[in-house]
A and B are shown apart, each in its own frame.
Chain A
């Protein structure tokens, strides 16, 4: 192991004091003089057309009002991640054809929230063609279902929507039918996941400020300031140089702001009409009507030989995308990517369909389909192992995609080869810690409270890079400059969702240059001062963004050495120099190995460079990763099922993660704890059912009825063990890989497998609520009466 100066050590997060003291300003905290407050008129119907809008009364109140007639008539997709030709567009800034309860139809802005609310209530909107909502994707695909959208755009071309299928992807490799014939065991299962709401701490908000030269500045909740700028520029025909999007701290995201939020163009339209700053902040209930995750329906058929090798996998994936597309097309690709990169199926057939329903649009939610696919695959793999009487861990080891294998988690166009793999180590250590071998068989378990141990294994990619430019955009940038006292300004467009991504970057820069983190300033930058970064998504923040920072640091280091040669007269060339952190001086020192007298601190050097007019040491880089290596995670979970009430409780957890070099250990552990909570909620609690006649969310958007698990529902801290594999990713910055999504992906799988081990019942529909468990036990004639 390398002895790092900063990597792996505990340091104070840069934003921690501002966060704990409440000083940090999120978008909704921002105020500018003359600012108006915007409110959005949302469709009260799930499937209807607007006949007439009368805005007179609202305007008489002094409000600025916009309707579909006041905004650009363009279709767009809020998320820019796929290349243009495969970007499907059906959103409008405001619509006359609302397709879910909550679809924005008009908006008002007034000097206060109260006034804006009154204006909103004075809008008179008449509807026609009010139809019963279609809430089930299979119903939507039936030939007599009315079309939710007739035509949408794919890139620049119009396409007809058939059977409400918004996008489709098929793929095959080898001969699956032949493989199933040869297989000794074939099983086929149907799965259905819940449609979860992200419940990020901060409901979405936007503030748009106009300037006299026609330019605008936007402050908003986003994972990507550059894509927000590009989209606004496209919709409003403004040059990008006239749209500046400022990075504002965000209160968590989990994918909810992976797209440009639809409130952004609405605020821009209001702002352009009012010629005043406009702020829109969603209430929690509106936020839940703005976005949820996707729900997925799978059919998986898998075949294996009696020797314990998989030989065929068939995968049908129907995604309930809701009323509009927030890039479900790449999700069709990643779903397949997760499937093929979990295990070597050898023969594969896939069909994926993204289907419209009259529901809140689905967008990415932590893992982008991986938690769902992993749950289904890990269930099937467990069942195959049981059937073949092979230890499920052994079966996994024999079949998983690991070191040396071709890997394309992010879909067929993003391929690379795996170079680091901690799976065997994590399976071994984790199973010992949890007591895998003594987990017992469900049929031997008796009594009211039954415990079970389950495993869930999976991964996430680190970004979506690769050697070839596929259908996905993925690159990043960084600016680094050495100030006149040797301290450093780091400027990046990359957003930190609150997980400490930028603290990881700081450590990477610190490690490269020997400058302590306290002397590195992360600039709250904007689109006008930063090179492009696609988005903080796909667990790429550390791996891609950190690599960009490192690349800039390496250039800066070279320039430092060039200047240092001028000062340290006797040195032959810059290659002779090194830089390191000096613990006593608490700063970076440039030195020559074996010559203790030949050295200078970076502070001294920077000052000399300034005083002698040598110029600023700085670097601007853009970075494309040529790989998207998997970060593997292996979860072991012990649960206890109360067979009288059907309630499940987590008892013990072993979270194993292979993320290469661990840059911030405590923050990485935090990701795993949070990942567990989210996965547990997915497994046992979360879904957003609808009222079948009105298309209203049954919880009505209220968190009193959309329940996420709380700290009290978690295992005790001492019963939660975290393991990090001893791996090094040669393509990553200092050997690091990503974590954000891998931290959660296999959790629901492990929980479901643990429940099966406790009571011998498998559930194919999430969430596994107490009533489902009780019903299953009663059907087996097993209850306390």
Chain B
């Protein structure tokens, strides 16, 4: 026999869900957790469905049980107090777009919202879904990574709070256990600066990123006191550029300075070739994206020094 593998195109039918599954609509978190605990690996939770339903139609996922979270009240909120900003997992991208908290306090996340999908997608898609889907291209990831966000995950056994840096394990793979639901994203205000930005490059408008980058900086007397850099679509998970960050802390907040160290990015990323772009292009353009995000972040701090 030949090594040519059959293409599963007869299994795909995007007009219907071509698989059979049980469907649940719990109305409380406890009920949902109970179900998840019982059904285990064969169950999937459904939020906006903009990733999950697509995968089911493509037959990339064939869950036996589907648990819709959207009937559970109080998982859709954006609140800010003196210490932190907390965002409920079921908050849609459109809710983020309308939020003054996001717009004024988390400009990098706001940039990502503006660059994400189309209006229809933003109306359906949730922040929790974007994180749990764990695509290397997830647009919320680089901003949340530079804000050092944590996620709260809940199961019948209790609550865990996981730093986002430890949450993404691989493409589509997270630290989430099969009986856990992500309920909240928490951002400590000490980790936030208006000097932050996100930029993305894609094939056309309304598209997943070929590559993306977020930068957050804090300045003291023209010196980079704190630098956080994260990139999307250039590694198996969204990644922080720790080598570049380390090199830049304590340096003058000048673009020329940043430029000198951009090659360090190559240590932090591991791009591949795929339908959206080549590894080579991703490597090259990551540097430009970080540079552009830096410029934008500096400008937001009230002016750049070129």
Q: Say if A and B assemble together.
A: yes
Q: Which residues of A contact B (CB under 8 A)?
A: 39, 41-42, 44-46, 101-102, 113-114, 117, 120-121, 130-133, 281, 283-286, 289, 644-647, 685, 689, 693-696, 698-702, 704-705, 707-710, 712-713, 770-771, 774-775, 778, 783-785
Whether the pair A699, B275 counts as a contact (CB closer than 8 A) is yes
A44→B7 contact, CB < 8 A:
yes
B13 contact set on A, CB distance < 8 A: 39, 113, 117, 283
CA gap between A704 and B10 in the complex, in Å: 19
Contact string, B265-282, partner A, CB cutoff 8 A, digits 1/0? 000000000011110110
A45 lies within 8 A of B6 (CB):
yes
A685/B204 in contact, CB under 8 A = yes
Interface, chain B (partner A; CB < 8 A) = 1-16, 18, 54, 58, 201, 203-208, 259, 262-263, 275-278, 280-281, 284-285, 287-288, 291
Q: Distance in Å from the Cβ of B266 to the closest Cβ of chain A?
A: 12
B259 touches A696 (CB 8 A): no
A117 touches B16 (CB 8 A): yes
List A contacts of B1 (CB < 8 A): 130
A708 in contact with B204 given A283-B12, A702-B58 (CB within 8 Å)? yes
Q: CA of A284 to CA of B54 in the docked complex: distance in angstroms? A: 13
Question: Is A647 a contact partner of B201 (Cβ separation < 8 A)?
Answer: yes
| Chain B residues positioned under 8 Å from A771 (CB to CB) | 277-278, 280-281
Measured between beta carbons, the chain A residues less than 8 angstroms from B14 are 283-285
A40 to chain B: closest residue by CB: B10
Task: List, sorted by A's number, 23 A–B pairs whose CB atoms are closer than 8 Å.
Answer: A44-B6, A44-B8, A44-B10, A101-B7, A114-B18, A117-B18, A132-B4, A644-B291, A645-B201, A685-B203, A695-B4, A698-B275, A702-B58, A704-B54, A709-B204, A709-B205, A710-B205, A710-B206, A771-B278, A778-B284, A784-B287, A785-B262, A785-B263
How far apart are the CA atoms of A118 and B76 in the complex, in Å?
38
Chain A residue nearest to B284 (CB atoms) is A774
> Which residue of B has the minimal Cβ distance to A125?
B10
Query: Which residue of chain A lies nearest to B14 when distances are taken between CB atoms in the complex?
Result: A283
A713 engages B280 (CB within 8 Å): no
Contacting residues, chain A, for B262 (C-beta < 8 A): 785
Chain A contacts of B16 at CB under 8 A?
A: 113-114, 117
- Inter-chain CA distance A770–B281, complex, in Å, is 8
In the complex, the answer to whether B2 meets A701 with C-beta atoms within 8 Å is no
Pick the most buried of A689, A707, A713, A784: most chain B CB atoms within 10 A of its CB. A707
Tell me whether chain B's interface is mostly helix, strand or loop, or mixed.
loop
- Contacting residues, chain B, for A284 (C-beta < 8 A): 14
Shortest Cβ gap from A330 to chain B (Å): 30
Give the residue name and chain of the A residue nearest to B4 (CB): A130
Give B107 Cβ to nearest chain A Cβ, in Å.
21
Q: How far apart are A785's CB and chain B's nearest CB, in angstroms?
A: 7
The complex places the Cα of A775 from the Cα of B204 at a distance, in Å, of: 20
Q: How far is the CA of A309 from the CA of B278 in the complex (A)?
A: 43
Contact partner of A785 (CB less than 8 A), chosen from B10, B278, B280, B287, is B287
Give min CB distance, A392 to chain B, whole Å.
Answer: 29
What is the minimal beta-carbon distance from B181 to any residue of chain A, in angstroms? 26
B9 / chain A contacts, CB cutoff of 8 Å: 42, 44, 101-102, 285-286, 289, 696, 700-701
Contact B6 A774 (CB under 8 A): no
Task: Say whether B2 contacts A41, CB under 8 Å.
Answer: no
Taken together as a complex, chains A and B put the C-alpha atoms of A117 and B19 apart, in Å, by 9
Per the bound structure, the CA–CA distance linking A700 and B1 in Å amounts to: 24
CB A109 to nearest CB in B, in angstroms, measures: 15
Once the chains are docked, how many angstroms separate the CA of A101 from the CA of B15?
Answer: 20
Q: Given the known A-B contacts A44-B6, A707-B203, A785-B259, are A774 and B275 also in contact in the complex, defined by CB atoms under 8 Å?
A: no
State in angstroms the CA–CA spacing of A292 and B14 once bound together.
19
Q: Which residues of A contact B280 (CB under 8 A)?
A: 771, 775
Q: Is the CB of B276 within 8 A of A705?
A: yes
Q: Is there contact, CB below 8 Å, between B10 and A120?
A: yes
Q: Which residues of B contact A39 (CB under 8 A)?
A: 13
Max chain B C-beta neighbours (<10 A), residue from A46, A644, A775? A644
CB of A541, distance to nearest CB on chain B (Å): 30
Which residues on the A side are within 8 Å of B18 (C-beta)?
Answer: 114, 117
Cβ of B53 to closest chain A Cβ, rounded Å: 12
The answer to whether B12 touches A695 (Cβ under 8 A) is no
Residues on A with beta carbons closer than 8 Å to the beta carbon of B277: 771
B7 and A693 contact, CB distance less than 8 A: no
CB closest chain-B residue, reference A711: B205
A130→B6 CA distance, assembly (Å)? 10
List residues of chain B with CB within 8 A of the CB of A645: 201, 285, 288
Selected from A121, A647, A695, A775, the residue in CB contact (under 8 A) with B10 is A121
Q: Given A102-B9, A131-B2 in contact, is the A713-B281 Cβ separation under 8 Å?
A: no
Residues of A within 8 A of B206 (CB): 710, 712
Interface pair A695/B7, CB less than 8 Å apart? yes
Q: Which of B54, B201, B291 contacts A784 (CB 8 A)?
A: B291
Quick check: A130 and B285 within 8 Å, CB to CB? Answer: no
Q: Which of B3, B8, B54, B288 has the most CB of A within 10 A?
A: B288
Chain A, residue nearest B199 (CB) = A645
Of all A-B residue pairs in the complex, the 8 with the closest CB atoms, nearest first, are A44-B6, A712-B205, A771-B281, A696-B7, A644-B288, A130-B2, A707-B203, A705-B275
User: How far apart sit A39 and B15, CA to CA, in the bound complex (Å)?
Assistant: 12
Residues of B with C-beta under 8 A to A102 = 9
- Other A-B pairs, 6, CB within 8 Å; known A44-B7, A289-B9: A132-B2, A694-B6, A699-B275, A710-B205, A713-B204, A784-B288
Q: Which residues of B sit under 8 angstroms from A702, Cβ to Cβ?
A: 58
Which chain A positions have C-beta within 8 A of B203?
685, 707
What CA separation (Å) do A120 and B58 show in the bound complex? Answer: 16
Contact A41 B281 (CB under 8 A): no
Question: Which residue among A42, A102, A700, A783 has the maximum number of chain B CB atoms within 10 Å of its CB?
Answer: A700
CB-CB under 8 A from A696, the residues of chain B are 7, 9
Q: Would you call B284 and A693 a contact (CB within 8 A)? A: no
Closest Cβ of chain B to A582, distance in Å, is: 48
- A31 → chain B closest CB, angstroms: 15
Are B4 and A131 within 8 A (Cβ)? yes
Is A42 a contact partner of B10 (Cβ separation < 8 A)? yes
**Contact of A694 with B2 in the complex, beta carbons under 8 Å:** no
